[in-house]
Chain A
């Protein structure tokens, strides 16, 4: 059974950094397409970043140069390193995966990141 469990969210001051983790089970993060999607309070879903099984990496314009997606194949964990955080980065961050790059089959329950002083 595919499971995704996010952690690392919390309250952080503007300008700070946070690293989100997504522990995967039931499949290998190295062989699937892995993504982060976020939802700001009262807003819709926003695709943030994806890392493909071959290693290609993509980012939304809004986080390019600010966020870094990576994976640890030995631990089967996906990461999202978030730097220079701003209030507009406040959101629930979902880890997601699929065998296909064209859609998302599985989602975690999300972790809340709040950027506030």
Chain B
């Protein structure tokens, strides 16, 4: 099975800050990497698919990059509503494993 790791596990940043979250796969997954945002008590939401494609309706301050084993989610100007846990997920092969998550707090 492909293992996913994320760093950092949590971060605290101010409104307007640029935030970067890293995700690494234990083997190459091409570009089959998704990013989800999850807020407590709500359904997760797809932000980025295929490493860098922005899901319809998602603000342009979210972007993704990477291929192979190393990927990045960037929030260019952090907003209060971005407080959430962010998960990467590989969709290269089953089981479609998720990373452990990165909790983003607003200072």
Which residues of A are interface residues toward B (Cβ below 8 A)? 37, 44-47, 50, 58-61, 94, 100-105, 107-110
B100: chain A residues within 8 A (beta carbon): 44
Contact with A along B63-90 (1 / 0, CB 8 A): 0000000000000000000000101010
A-B contacts, CB under 8 A, total: 56
A94 to B98: give the CA distance in the assembly, Å. 14
* A23 nearest CB across to chain B (Å): 15
Are A47 and B34 interface neighbours, CB within 8 A? no
The verdict on B50 contacting chain A, using a C-beta distance below 8 Å, is: yes
Total count of chain B residues near the partner, CB < 8 A? 25
**Residues of B that sit less than 8 Å from A by CB:** 1, 32, 34, 36, 38, 42-46, 49-50, 55, 85, 87, 89, 91, 94-101
Enumerate chain B residues within 8 angstroms of A47, measured Cβ to Cβ: 89, 95-98
Known: A45-B38, A47-B97, A103-B34. A94 touches B50 (CB 8 A): no
Contact partner, B91, options A37, A44, A61, A103, Cβ 8 Å = A103
